[in-house]
Amino acid sequence: MSRINDRVEWCLEQGKKGEKHKGLRNIAPNVKEAERQLQKAVSDLETMQYLYEGKRTDWVASAAFYAMYHSLLAVLYKLGYESRNQECTITFIEKLIEDKAISLEQFHIDHIRSLQEGVQSAKSIREEMQYGTKTSLEDARCQRLMEQAKEFVDRIREALEEVK
């Protein structure tokens, strides 16, 4: 069993416990909730832009991350899963990519989670800005993150249309 499969199994076991913020749970596919999650992702993108224009760039990172995250939750709801854990959500999407159950490129997931080629992920930037004391994000870094978030949500939307 691959590392991803091991993690997904662990996430599903945690989800069976029913505790808040634990694992993945099987549910009936929920297209309406998937649509609401996409609407939330779009709202997060709008908030991200509003914060940027208001020079509150420390919070742009959080809005960008959550735009991406809510779009991933949309995929899960459409397929009949509910996630209560960010790592489980991201890992499950990786499994869907690996199993070719969703047409999505791995680099999109890398943007939200891992450090790649010296570029910080959205999650690590969000954590740095949310838990740190800096009150602004450098403009070039902020612009790059915002563009990645927009591209990410658009790409998830495309991939989601293909999911039956």
> What is the reported pLDDT for 118?
40
How many C-beta neighbours within 10 Å does residue 94 have? Answer: 20
User: Which of 106, 39, 32, 104 lies closest to 66, judged by CA?
Assistant: 39
Residue 52's alpha-carbon distances to 9, 45, 111, 146, 151, in angstroms, are 39, 11, 19, 9, 17
Answer positive or negative: Cα dihedral of 100, 105, 108, 109.
positive
Instruction: Look up residue 19 and give its DSSP letter.
Output: -
> What is the reported pLDDT for 6?
94
> What is the reported pLDDT for 145?
85
Which parts of the chain sit beneath pLDDT 70? 1, 21, 113-123, 126, 129-130, 132-135
Residue 106's alpha-carbon distances to 62, 78, 95, 96, in angstroms, are 21, 20, 10, 10
Instruction: Look up residue 28 and give its DSSP letter.
Output: -
- What gap in Å lies between CA 66 and CA 59, rounded to an integer? 11
Average pLDDT, the chain: 86
> What is the reported pLDDT for 146?
92
The SS3 assignment for 116 reads strand
> Which two tokens mark 84?
């209560």
Looking at domain 3-162, its CATH architecture is Up-down Bundle (1.20)
